[in-house]
Amino acid sequence: MTTLRAWLQDPSPTSRRQARLGQMWLAWLRIRRNRLAMAGLVIVGLLLAVAALAPLIAPHDPLVQDLGRRLLPPGTPGNILGTDDFGRDILSRILYGARITLYIVALVAVTAPVLGLLIGTVAGYFGGWVDAVLMRVTDIFLAFPRLILALALVAVLGPGIENAVLAIALTAWPPYARVARAETLTVRSSDYIAAVRLQGAGPARIIAGHVVPMCLPSVIIRVTLDMAGVILIAAGLGFLGLGVQPPTPEWGLMISSGRKFLFEQWWVATMPGLAIFTVSLGFNLLGDGLRDVLDPRSAPK
Amino acid sequence: MTQTSSDRQPSRLLRLVRQAVLGLLSLAITILGLLLVTFIIGRVVPFDPVLSIVGERATEAQMQAVRDQLGLDLPMWQQFWIYVRDAVQGDLGTSIRTSMPVAEDIARAFPATLELATLGTLFGTLVGVPAGVLAATRPGSIADQIVRIVGLMGYSMPVFWLGLIGLLVFYGQLDWVAGPGRLDPTYDMMMEFTLTSYTGMILIDSALNGAWDVFGNAISHIILPAGLLGYVSMAYISRMTRSFMMNELGQEYITTARVKGMPEWRVIWVHAMKNVMVPLITVIALSYAYLLEGSVLTETIFAWPGLGSYITDALFAADMPAVLGGTVVVGVAFVTLNMASDILYRLVDPRART
């Protein structure tokens, strides 16, 4: 352990990998000092754990109905958070719901940045009218209010989890394109790109092999920062009945089903909202901390 | 470029005009793109617009007649051209659900949304700016931490859930505010039949009519949804204010002012604030635009008969002209607000004029 730490903290690294890992180690030390970011990391870790272990830790099957035990208040033995209008255990449904949320977040996180990277790097690399056209398209998509565009898209595609993901991804890519373009502009005219070009590499090869990797770090930070927003939009679509369909335990959908008896059985709508709030707060705290650590302008004083 | 003092004024005017023209041009292109997107969305809809108008049992001749009327046999670019021409003239098609022109429906719903979003932004600014300044002047203090955490919570809160909790607590339990809707039914009738409508915004209309009981009832209805939307925009505004103010307080002119012995409140609220105002205008305009959008979910919770409710109701009735018309209107409002804040920015900040 001490030797590993010494290797990481070596002031004169012998390889590029050692230097990079050393930098990451320093960043990690800085994140660890930031209590709020650590709280965020714990929440996100918890989400991952709950999603993975849902069948093991959930006390009940999230789909099994028991009409004799419907609308029981929180604190009932066997149903700590109470039951919903079909007698399903709310805690179990929330635990399983973590899987749906994680599924949506993960799908958006792998699709939207890819689209953004493609458009941003191509625009930045070629410049000229290609750049002008692509950036104009990006601006147009940025001009659309995200939730409304997602609504219109789902209205056309039809409700469902894949379509909700598609709609969110189609509204989420423009910021990534901007970031990727900015990074591309800084590396485009560098010597190593010129060297690769002189060796005969075509634009596709240069962009995929030599430009995209340079854009990845800033895009990844941006993705972490955006995840809370994605969770909220997905929950909003679910709440409107345009995302996941019943009886799947999705948090937004659970809130909307509890809305009918909000004043009498408040817990049905309240509990899943707490879950959404906690997870999205976790991503916000983590993203905030990451930005503080990785953004050179807010270096430690 | 060399300039003599005599031609300085006209060239500056010229530059402003040029900027305005360029700005309007880019606004026009963006709106055209917006229309193209909604046009494409509208054309790939899996249900047949002809069928929804004539019904299942129409003859082929009837269907052809409607198809001709809608211009569905024309080439795509020509259809798009007609779509743009109609939209520019304020024709967004006819709603399937209400059988009314979409533009008329939206004109009726928009004031309700505008009222809500405006009041929300007002709350957000009145609380968010002082909170951000407080946090910036005492970085690391308890006050700073509280502002930061309250702000982050606002970022993380699903707005529809917040609305339900608000209703549960302030209407259901405490009974401090009125429930969903813009007015109680009795006042609603009054508003509809005995009072003159000037703007469609109940707070303004009732005040102009001198109907203070209606005004009071409207306040009691709007305060909760506007307050909740205000919280969301406060989160954003306070955070940005803090960062702008921190940046400003590190400048040398602030040190100079302090060394001169100027009272601290004057340093902050007069000298620093003057420069913070500039980027803050953009932030407030942006948060206003977001509230127009955020009102979609809030309106469904509070049965608020605005644009958001209109779009979601249309969505469930598979009323695509209404959904897309609403999307276009919100999009145009969004773009225009951005543009307006940009122009304001140039007017206020002398550095941005060149």
DSSP string of B299-347, one letter each residue: HHHTT--SHHHHHHHHHHTT-HHHHHHHHHHHHHHHHHHHHHHHHHHHH
Residue A1 predicted with pLDDT over 70: no
Q: Do B312 and A269 touch (CB under 8 A)?
A: no
Q: Pick the range with the lowest mean pLDDT from A37-41, A128-132, A292-296.
A: A292-296
Question: Running DSSP on this structure, what letter comes out for residue A76?
Answer: B
Q: Within the 246-265 window of chain B, which residues sit less than 8 Å (CB to CB) from chain A?
A: none
Task: Give the amino acid at A10.
Answer: D
* Token representation of residue A127: 């410049």
Q: Do B41 and A153 touch (CB under 8 A)?
A: yes
| Average pLDDT score over chain A | 84
* pLDDT band at residue B39 under the 50/70/90 scheme: confident
Residues B91, A283: Cα–Cα separation, whole Å: 43
Residues B168, B164: Cα–Cα separation, whole Å: 6
Residues 6+ apart with CB under 8 A from B252: none
User: Higher model confidence: residue A157 or residue A47?
Assistant: A47
* pLDDT band at residue A261 under the 50/70/90 scheme: confident
Output the pTM of the full model: 0.84
**Mean pLDDT across the stretch B137-144?**
87
Residue B201 predicted with pLDDT over 50: yes
Identify which of A152, A228, A259 has the shortest CB distance to residue B156: A228
**Tell me, what's the pLDDT at B129?**
93
Q: Pick the range with the lowest mean pLDDT from A150-154, B47-51, B142-146, B157-161.
A: B47-51
Phi-psi region of B74 (alpha: psi -120 to 50; beta: other; left: phi over 0): beta
**Tell me, what's the pLDDT at B54?**
66
Task: Spell out the alpha helix ranges (H) of B49-101.
Answer: 49-54, 60-70, 76-88
Instruction: Collect contacts of B51-58 with beta carbons under 8 A, ≥24 apart.
Output: B52/B96, B52/B318, B53/B96
Helix (H, G, I), strand (E, B) or coil at A34: coil
Residues A108, A209: Cα–Cα separation, whole Å: 23
Residues B96, B66: Cα–Cα separation, whole Å: 14
**Tell me, what's the pLDDT at A77?**
79
Q: Do A236 and B160 touch (CB under 8 A)?
A: yes
* pLDDT band at residue A300 under the 50/70/90 scheme: very low
Instruction: Collect contacts of B270-275 with beta carbons under 8 A, ≥24 apart.
Output: B272/B245, B272/B248, B273/B133, B275/B248
Span A48-80, pLDDT tens digits:
998 888 888 878 888 878 777 777 788 777 777
* pLDDT band at residue B6 under the 50/70/90 scheme: very low
User: Higher model confidence: residue B221 or residue A76?
Assistant: B221
Q: Do A143 and B327 touch (CB under 8 A)?
A: no
**Tell me, what's the pLDDT at A298?**
47
* pLDDT band at residue A25 under the 50/70/90 scheme: confident
Interface size between A and B, measured as CB pairs under 8 A: 135
DSSP B242-253: HHHHHHHHTSHH
Identify which of B41, B157, B164 has the shortest CB distance to residue A156: B41
Q: Pick the range with the lowest mean pLDDT from A6-20, A205-219, B241-255.
A: A6-20
A240 has a chain B CB within 8 A of its CB: yes
- Percentage, residues of chain B above pLDDT 90: 10
Residue B247 predicted with pLDDT over 80: yes
User: Higher model confidence: residue A281 or residue A260?
Assistant: A281
Residue A214 predicted with pLDDT over 90: no
> Which chain B residues are Cβ-neighbours of A141 within 8 angstroms?
37
CB B232 within 8 A of CB B159: yes
Helix (H, G, I), strand (E, B) or coil at B13: helix
Q: Pick the range with the lowest mean pLDDT from B7-21, B188-202, B321-335.
A: B7-21
* pLDDT band at residue B342 under the 50/70/90 scheme: confident
| Average pLDDT score over chain B | 82
Q: Return the ∠ at Cα B48 (arms to B43 and B50), rounded to 5°.
A: 110
| Gyration radius (Cα) of chain A, Å | 23
* pLDDT band at residue A276 under the 50/70/90 scheme: very high
User: Of B164, B224, B341, which to mutate for an interface test with A (greatest number of A Cβ within 10 Å)?
Assistant: B164
**How far apart are the CA of A292 and the nearest CA of chain B, in angstroms?**
13
Q: Do B158 and A236 touch (CB under 8 A)?
A: yes
Among A244, A232, A248, A220, CA closest to A280: A232
**Mean pLDDT across the stretch A263-267?**
83
Residue B338: closest CA among chain A residues belongs to which residue? A143
Q: Pick the range with the lowest mean pLDDT from A1-15, B136-150, B159-173.
A: A1-15
Helix (H, G, I), strand (E, B) or coil at A201: coil
Residue B2 predicted with pLDDT over 80: no
Residue A79 φ then ψ, to 5° = -130, 80
Among A275, A185, A203, A292, CA closest to A238: A275
CB B238 within 8 A of CB B129: yes
Q: Pick the range with the lowest mean pLDDT from A38-42, A166-170, B47-51, B346-350.
A: B47-51
B324 has a chain A CB within 8 A of its CB: yes
Residue A83 predicted with pLDDT over 70: yes
Residue A158: closest CA among chain B residues belongs to which residue? B46
**Mean pLDDT across the stretch B293-298?**
81
Residues B145, B135: Cα–Cα separation, whole Å: 8
Q: Pick the range with the lowest mean pLDDT from A14-23, A83-92, B24-33, B44-53.
A: B44-53
**Tell me, what's the pLDDT at B353?**
57
**Tell me, what's the pLDDT at A114?**
92
